[in-house]
Amino acid sequence: MLSTKYIAIACCSIVAVAAVVGFAADDEEEKTYAPPDPKLKSFRIERDVSEDARECITCHADESRGIVADWAESRHAHANITCLDCHQAGAADEDISQSHFEHDKTAISPIVSPKDCSRCHPAEAAEYSKSKHANTLEIIWKFDPWLNAGMNNSIERSTGCEHCHGSVVKMQKDGTFDPETWPNVGVGRVNPDGSKGSCSSCHTRHLFSVSESRKPEACGQCHLGPDHPQIEIYEESKHGAIYHAQGDEWNWDSAPGTWTPGVDYRAPTCSTCHMSGVNGVATTHDVTERLAWESQAPLTIRPSEFKPFPSKTNWKTEREKMKNVCLACHSQTWTDGHFDRYDKAIENYNEVYYKPAKKMIDQLYAKKLLDDEKPLDQELEFDMYEFWHHEGRRARFGAAMMAPDYAWWHGFYELKQRYMEIERQYDHLMKTGEPAKVHEVPGATGSTEKPAFMRED
């Protein structure tokens, strides 16, 4: 044990130190307090990379620190894949950054397209190219009334439709990008090299994280809102509830093809069901696979019958793939019961709601009580559009993803209300024989010219 003498000395020492600190604090109060400058991370380039690549990293570590920080944490950086491996452009490339070339004579493109990514990821790029994601800009130009009839203007398109669906990236005469088409990371972006899509839609640059793309928030950037609320539906579902309760404890970083239910995660996310390798079902970047219904179309049909983009899949084969994903966690009885109920919900929408409503609309067009010169410039046309594009989709998606509030209250319940409104206007027009009012739609000044990449059709 310590003697009383040593304890006394220790106590005196503590008091003395406290006194010194106190006096120092009093002196400091007379000065203006300035917090110390935070230590900024410095990027020490110790990897075996080319001198040109070193210059890129050194410059951007000052000019755009966030980009370099993301890259430094990425698997790309750990594999010595640098800026030039992805961004370096050929002499004949259309999208060379003229300002960058004038700065240091290095030909680079700000765009990294699926064609560029395919140099290292050929299978993923090939699968993606077949998907509805990669071809979604062409799809909407084939049937969307807002584009084909010019019912929205260029700024509404570039900040809305094209932000998710993609733009046709164009270059101006001075070598800069057309601001109406760039920046853009839409999944169906048409790149100057002819490829379609943007891998950074889901794997955001410059980290390109596989864990980020596996989480539902990656899909929820575009799949949300009144017409396709998949992220809201997922969050209502039991799967989403489990994800929010426990997802921060799951292993999101497993290598592709090894991410395993019951080991790495407890409940599926969007990518689990539609893309991940699960229970003998191969990983794919073609989200058109595993679908038995085209449930976003006005009348629900099989994917192979969807005229704007008919899939080359067999719906029965794809249904079995999706069932196998479910069977990783659920019983055969549970899985069969879910899909039986989903198919009946599809039949209910088609036969009880859509077909009778469409019949009324067709009769009004036939009698010239609705004007077919332009779409969506009459109230009843808007009602019919939202009938399938909003309430109808919500009912079908809610049934598919087990979200009862969306299947009923935001779906079939609101379909009933909308149906009554369509029927009310139908009865009025048929009774009076007076054509419906044609409105002057604001902002209906968009170009109706199809993009050049589609003109062969």
For residues 271 and 324, what is the distance between their CA atoms, to the nearest angstrom?
15
Structural domains in the chain (count): 4
Q: Is residue 159 domain-shared with residue 124, that is, in the same domain? A: yes
% of the chain surpassing 90 pLDDT: 82
The answer on pLDDT for 282 being more than 50 is yes
pLDDT bucket at 43, cuts 50 / 70 / 90: low
**pLDDT confidence of residue 47:** 65
Whether pLDDT at 22 is above 60: no
50 or 213, higher pLDDT? 213
Is 102's pLDDT higher than 90? no
Query: Which contacts of 316-323 are long-range, i.e. CB under 8 A and separated by 24 or more positions?
Result: 316/292, 318/289, 318/290, 318/291, 318/292, 319/292, 321/281, 321/289, 321/290, 322/273, 322/290, 322/291, 322/292
Asked if 385 and 283 sit in the same domain, the reply is no
Task: Note the pLDDT of residue 451.
Answer: 94
Same domain, 77 and 123: no
- Is residue 455 in some structural domain? no
The residues, any chain, with a CB within 8 Å of residue 248's CB and separated by 6 or more, are none
- Residue 13 forms part of a structural domain: no
What is the pLDDT at residue 187?
98
The pLDDT, as a whole number, for residue 50 is 87
Regarding whether 194 and 259 lie in a shared domain, the answer is no
Nearest of 189, 264, 252, 187 to residue 215 by alpha carbon:
252
Residue 338 contacts residue 323 (beta carbons within 8 Å): no
Give yes or no: residues 137 and 123 share one domain.
Answer: yes
Lowest pLDDT segment from 12-26, 355-369, 399-413:
12-26
pLDDT value of residue 175: 84
Number of H helices and E strands in the chain, helices first, is 24, 0
C-alpha–C-alpha distance, residues 453 and 457, integer Å: 9
Task: Please choose, from the candidates 133, 123, 119, 144, the residue with its C-alpha nearest in 3D space to the C-alpha of residue 189.
Answer: 133
Residue-wise DSSP of 315-340: HHHHHHHHHHHHHTTS-HHHHHHHHH
Residues 274 and 340 in one domain: no
Cα 181 from Cα 260, distance rounded (Å): 39
Residue 392: closest CA among 378, 413, 362: 413
Domain finish residue from 329, 352, 380: 329
* pLDDT, tens digit, 9 for 90 and up, residues 148-194: 999 999 999 999 999 999 999 999 988 899 999 999 999 999 999 99
Phi, psi of 396, deg, nearest 5: -70, -45
Q: What is the pLDDT of residue 177?
A: 94
Residue 1 falls within a domain, yes or no?
Answer: no
d(CA 279, CA 51): 46
Q: Highest mean pLDDT range out of 57-61, 96-100, 257-261, 265-269?
A: 265-269
Q: Are 346 and 398 in contact (CB under 8 A)?
A: no
Report the distance separating Cα 379 and Cα 45, nearest Å. Answer: 63
Over range 23-28, report the average pLDDT. 44
Residue 264 pLDDT > 90, yes or no? yes
Please report the pLDDT score of residue 235 as a whole number: 98
Answer yes or no: is pLDDT of 24 > 50.
no
Same domain, 138 and 237: no
CATH number assigned to the domain comprising residue 283: 1.20.850.10
Q: Residue 177 has which token pair?
A: 């990008």
Note whether 370 and 361 are within 8 A (CB). Answer: yes
Average pLDDT over residues 313-336: 98
Q: Rounded mean pLDDT of the chain?
A: 91
* pLDDT tens digits along 65-83: 999 999 999 999 999 999 9
Do 213 and 167 share a structural domain? no
Q: Indicate if 273 and 343 belong to the same structural domain.
A: no
In a domain, 273, yes or no: yes
Residues 195 and 165 in one domain: yes
Reply yes or no on whether the pLDDT at 19 is more than 60.
Answer: no
Same domain, 341 and 303: no
Residue 422 has pLDDT above 60, yes or no: yes
Helices 393-400 & 332-348, crossing angle to 10 degrees?
A: 170
The tokens describing 43, both together, are: 């990027």
pLDDT at 46: 65
Q: Flag whether 8 is in a domain.
A: no
Structural domain range at position 371:
335-432
Angstrom distance (rounded) from CA 211 to CA 198: 18
Residue 137 resides in a domain: yes
Q: pLDDT (tens digit, 9 = 90+) per residue, 85-99?
A: 999 998 888 899 988
Checking if the pLDDT of 7 tops 70, the result is no
Distance, CA of 82 to CA of 88 (rounded, Å): 10
> What gap in Å lies between CA 376 and CA 63, rounded to an integer?
48
Paired residues of 278 in beta bridges: 281
Residues 6+ apart with CB under 8 A from 388: 298, 299, 354
To which residue do tokens 């073609």 refer? 286
Domain end point (choices 329, 349, 376): 329
Residue 444 within a domain: no
Q: Using the 3D structure, point to which of 329, 363, 387 is the last residue of a domain.
A: 329
Asked if the model's pLDDT at residue 26 lies above 50, the reply is no
Confidence grade of residue 33 (pLDDT, cut at 50, 70, 90): low
The answer to whether residues 375 and 413 belong to one domain is yes
pLDDT at 20 over 90: no
In a domain, 442, yes or no: no
Q: What was the pLDDT predicted at 1?
A: 42
pLDDT score of 45 more than 90: no
Read off the pLDDT of residues 338-360 as tens digits, 9 standing for 90 and up: 999 999 999 999 999 999 999 99
pLDDT band at 36 (very low <50, low <70, confident <90, very high): low
Does residue 5 surpass a pLDDT of 70?
no
